[in-house]
Chain A
Amino acid sequence: MSVSYREKLAEDLPKWVDAGWVRPEGAAAILAEVSDETPSRQNRIVGILSILGAVLIGAGAISFIAANWQEMPRLFRLGLMISGLWAAYGAGALLFQRGYDVFAHAAVLLGSVVFGASVMLVAQMYHIHGSPPDAVFVWAAGALLAGLLMGSNPSLVLSLLLVCFWGAWETQLAENVFWPFLPAWAVVAAVLSWRHCDYGVKLATLAIGAWIVSLGYTLPGQPHNDLVVGIGAAIAGCGLALQVVGLRVGDYGRLAVGLGFCIAVAGLFGLQFIDWHQELSSVVGYAVVVLLLSVAAIAWGLRTHDLTLSRAAYVAFAIEVVGLYARTLGTLLNTSLFFVGAGIGVIVLALLAFRLNRQWSLRTGAKS
C-alpha cells in the first residue's frame, strides 16, 4: 500500500463521511486497514531480501561442491553439508518459535538447497552418472518434505521449480512425453494450493500450461497442436462454467479460464506458424479464431475484473497480427486484405459494444 494512497484516503474519507456515502465507523475501519498493511509491506521486503540471501548462500554451497576441493577429505565435506542441513532446519524451527517467520522461511529454504548440494556431493563422491535427472527428483522430494512439514512456501516453490527442471530434462533425454511429470506436478500443486500459496499456485498453473503446450510437439508422430487446442478449450470451458455458476472455489474458475485461453491460443499459433504443411484456408480460419477469442477474452476479462486475462488476450492479439504479417497469406496483398477485413470486423464489434453499453446505461438510468 503506497503512502500517497493512504494520505489521499485520509484526505477524502472525511468528505465522503460528510456526503453520507461512508459511515464514520466505516471510515475509521478503512484507515485502520490501510495503516495495518504498512508493516506487512515492510515485512515483505525483509522476506524477499532474506530469501535472496538464502539463495546466494545455497549457490555458494553448490559451487563449493562443484569445485571438488581436495584439501578437505570428502567425508569431511559430506559431514559439513549434513551439519549445515541440520543447522539450517534447526535455525528455521527456532526462528518460527521466536516469531521471526520471515527469517525462518529463508532458513528452511537454505536447508533445502543444502540438501540438494549434498545429493550432488554424494553423486560426485561415487562418480554416479546413472540418470542425472534422478538426483534432481530426489532433491525436489526433499524440498517438498521440508516445505510441507516445516510449513514453508519458499521451499515448496523450490520443489515445484525442481519438478519442472526434472520433467524438462527427462523429456529431452527420452525425446517423448514424460508422463511421470504429471503426478509429481499434481502433488506439489496440491500442497501449494492447500497452503494457500498464491504465487506458488500461479507458478504451478504456468508450469502445467507449458507442459500441455509441449504435448503438441513431444507426442510421437506429427505435431498434435489440434489436441492442445482441444485441451485448452476444455479447461477454459470448465473455468467459464465455474465462473458463471458462481462457485467461489478460491479463484480457480478465473485461473482456469486464463490457463485454457493461453493453451488454446498457443496451440492455434502452433497450427498456423509451426505446422508448415497447413492449407492457406485453414491458416486464415485459425487466425480468425485467435482474433475472435482474443476479443472475447478481453471483454470477459474486463467484465470479471480479470486483468491478467485481458492482458494475456492483448498479447495474443498482438502476436497473431505480427505472426500473420511474417507468415503472409499467399501474397502480401492477400495479407493486407485480411488485415483490413479483420480491422473492420473488430471495429464493428466495438460499435456493437458501444450500443449495448448505451442501452444498458439508459435502462439502468430509467430504473433509478
Chain B
Amino acid sequence: MRSILLNKWLAMLVVAGVQSAVLGYIVVERALVIRDGREIILDVRPVDPRSVFRGDYVILDYGDVTLLGSSVAGDLPKNKQALFVKLRKGGEGWQPVTATAIYPSDVDGDEVVLKGMLSSRHSRQVRYGIESYFVPEGEGKQLERFIGKGQLRVIVAVGAGGQAAIKGLEVEGKSVYIEPLL
C-alpha cells in the first residue's frame, strides 16, 4: 500500500485512469441505449428550473405515465428501490399497467417496460430518469412555448433492462432534434 502511495506517477495513472473509465462507462451505457433501444413517444408538460451544476434545463412532466393509479397491479417497493413499470399502448398513448420489483416476464408487442424509482410512495409517482432536458443557456423559453401548446413530444429509447434515455424531441409529429450518440 505504502509503495503505491509513494509512487506518485503510478498513483496519478490509476486515479486519472479510473476516473476516465467511470466517465467512459456512463457515456457508453447511455449511447448503447440510444442506439439499440426500442423507441417510444411520450407527451410532456413543462416546468422550467435551472441546475447549479449542469446549466439550464426544462423539466419534462410525463403526466399519467409517471402516475401509478389504483388500477396498476403489483406491490410497490420502498423508496429508492428499482421499480419496473409495464406500459401498454392504447388510444390515449402509453399507460402503466403493472409495477413490480423485478423485470416482468410477460411483455407483449404493444407493451414496453421502463425502469424507474418511486419518488413518492404516498402519491404513487415514479421517476424514470428522463425528467430533465438540458438546453443551451437562454434557449429553454422557446422549447417551453412548444410544450405549452401541447405540440412537443419526447422520443425515448428503452434499453433491454428497461433503462430509458431521451433520444430526441418531436414537434407536430416531426422530429426536430435527434440526440447524437456521443
B4 touching A149, Cβ below 8 Å: yes
- Choose from A92, A120, A129 the contact partner of B8 (Cβ within 8 Å): A92
Shortest CB-to-CB span from B180 to chain A, Å, is 8
Q: Of all chain B residues, which has the CB nearest A97?
A: B8
Q: What chain B residues lie within 8 Å of A356 (beta carbons)? A: none
- Choose from B20, B23, B55, B129 the contact partner of A128 (Cβ within 8 Å): B129
Q: How far is the CA of A112 from the CA of B137 in the complex (A)?
A: 25
Q: What chain A residues lie within 8 Å of B135 (beta carbons)? A: 68
Q: Is chain B's interface secondary structure helix, strand, loop, or mixed overall?
A: mixed
A85 touching B8, Cβ below 8 Å: no
B12 touching A93, Cβ below 8 Å: yes
Could you say which of B36-44, B46-54, B145-153 contacts chain A?
Answer: B46-54
Q: How far is the CA of A116 from the CA of B19 in the complex (A)?
A: 10
- Choose from B19, B127, B137, B166 the contact partner of A67 (Cβ within 8 Å): B137
A89 touching B15, Cβ below 8 Å: yes
Shortest CB-to-CB span from A307 to chain B, Å, is 34
Interface presence of A86 (CB below 8 A)? yes
A123 with B22, Cβ < 8 A, contacts A92-B12, A146-B15, A150-B11 known: no
Q: How far is the CA of A138 from the CA of B133 in the complex (A)?
A: 21
Q: Which of A158-178 contact B (CB under 8 A)?
A: 173-174, 176
A78 with B55, Cβ < 8 A, contacts A93-B12, A149-B4 known: no
- Choose from A93, A124, A145, A151 the contact partner of B18 (Cβ within 8 Å): A145
A67 touching B12, Cβ below 8 Å: no
A93 touching B136, Cβ below 8 Å: no
B19 touching A85, Cβ below 8 Å: yes
Q: What chain A residues lie within 8 Å of B133 (beta carbons)? A: 127
A129 touching B127, Cβ below 8 Å: yes
Interface presence of B100 (CB below 8 A)? no
Q: What chain B residues lie within 8 Å of A314 (beta carbons)? A: none
Q: Which of B13-32 contact A (CB under 8 A)?
A: 14-16, 18-20, 22-23, 26-27, 30
Shortest CB-to-CB span from B24 to chain A, Å, is 9
* Chain A contact patch, size range: 35 or more
Interface centre among A62, A65, A68 (most CB of B within 10 A): A68
Q: What chain A residues lie within 8 Å of B16 (beta carbons)? A: 85-86, 89-90, 111
- Choose from B20, B52, B127, B182 the contact partner of A75 (Cβ within 8 Å): B182
Q: What chain B residues lie within 8 Å of A125 (beta carbons)? A: 27, 30, 134
B12 touching A90, Cβ below 8 Å: yes
Q: What chain A residues lie within 8 Å of B27 (beta carbons)? A: 78, 122, 125-126
Q: What chain A residues lie within 8 Å of B18 (beta carbons)? A: 142, 145
A129 with B12, Cβ < 8 A, contacts A62-B53, A85-B19 known: no
A97 touching B9, Cβ below 8 Å: yes
Interface presence of A39 (CB below 8 A)? no
Interface presence of A5 (CB below 8 A)? no
A149 with B14, Cβ < 8 A, contacts A68-B136, A122-B27 known: yes
Q: Of all chain B residues, which has the CB nearest A70?
A: B136
A126 touching B30, Cβ below 8 Å: yes
Q: Which of B42-91 contact A (CB under 8 A)?
A: 51-57, 79-80
Shortest CB-to-CB span from A312 to chain B, Å, is 33
A126 with B15, Cβ < 8 A, contacts A67-B137, A75-B182 known: no
Shortest CB-to-CB span from A199 to chain B, Å, is 20
- Choose from A111, A129, A150 the contact partner of B129 (Cβ within 8 Å): A129
Q: How far is the CA of A150 from the CA of B19 in the complex (A)?
A: 13
A82 with B54, Cβ < 8 A, contacts A89-B12, A130-B129, A150-B8 known: no
B11 touching A66, Cβ below 8 Å: no
- Choose from A92, A127, A130, A135 the contact partner of B134 (Cβ within 8 Å): A127
A124 with B9, Cβ < 8 A, contacts A70-B136, A111-B15, A145-B19 known: no
- Choose from A62, A78, A121, A174 the contact partner of B80 (Cβ within 8 Å): A174
Interface 0/1 of A9-42, CB less than 8 Å to B: 0000000000000000000000000000000000
Shortest CB-to-CB span from A171 to chain B, Å, is 12
A68 with B56, Cβ < 8 A, contacts A130-B129, A138-B22, A150-B15 known: yes
Q: How far is the CA of A66 from the CA of B56 in the complex (A)?
A: 7
A65 touching B53, Cβ below 8 Å: yes
B54 touching A123, Cβ below 8 Å: yes
Q: How far is the CA of A69 from the CA of B55 in the complex (A)?
A: 10
Extra inter-chain contacts (18) besides given A129-B131, A149-B11, CB under 8 Å: A66-B51, A68-B54, A68-B136, A70-B136, A78-B27, A89-B12, A90-B12, A117-B53, A122-B30, A123-B54, A124-B57, A126-B166, A127-B132, A127-B133, A128-B26, A131-B129, A142-B19, A176-B79
The 9 closest A-B pairs by CB, nearest first: A66-B55, A130-B129, A149-B11, A93-B12, A126-B30, A93-B8, A120-B53, A129-B131, A129-B132
